[in-house]
Structure 1
Amino acid sequence: MDTDETLLRILACPLDKGPLILPAGRDALYNPRLRLRYPIVDGVPQLLPSSGLRVSAEEHERYAGPAEA
């Protein structure tokens, strides 16, 4: 198990406390349930509720893939 998998097991969305997805681009953590993207700045996830950015339907497809739509 690599570092990314270990961190994803313990990191959670600050709003619904559910798991987050690390998309292939690795520039953000994503909550597909709330359609919120949390930026990663200098390797540090910004997991404050105010840091969550709502994403469009197109972005949701890109981050979560067609299975989550």
Structure 2
Amino acid sequence: MNPDDPLLEILACPLDKGPLHLVPPNGSASAEEALYNPRLHRRYPVVDGIPQLLPSSGEQVSDDEHEELLKRMAP
């Protein structure tokens, strides 16, 4: 996905139905592209360009990880 993808405007968190933000990989081997809900501190993976938006696919992130994700979020 890219930050200009029109799909980003219609994707919503499956839990609170609010907007999601694209988080690009940070270059480390374990980092992957993701969609992030900063309101609930939940991250949803993007696998082979396909957002995984089932509630069970999301994972809760710690406060430290939340701060890191906010820095990496695409404008």
- The normalised TM-score by structure 2 is 0.75
Extract unaligned runs of 5+ from structure 1.
none
**Structure 1 residue ranges, 4+ long, deviating more than 6 angstroms after superposition:** none
1:55 pairs with 2:71: no
- The normalised TM-score by structure 1 is 0.81
Indicate the structure whose relative CO is greater, using CA pairs within 8 Å and at least 6 residues apart: 2
Indicate the structure with greater helix content: 1
Q: Partner letter of residue 64 of structure 2? A: E
Instruction: Name the residue aligned to 1:37.
Output: 43
Extract unaligned runs of 5+ from structure 2.
26-31
Shift of 1:5: 3.7
Shift of 1:3: 6.9
Q: Partner letter of residue 38 of structure 1? A: Y
Deviation sequence 1:1-46 (CA, Å, 0-9, x none): x774411100000000000010232611000000000001111000
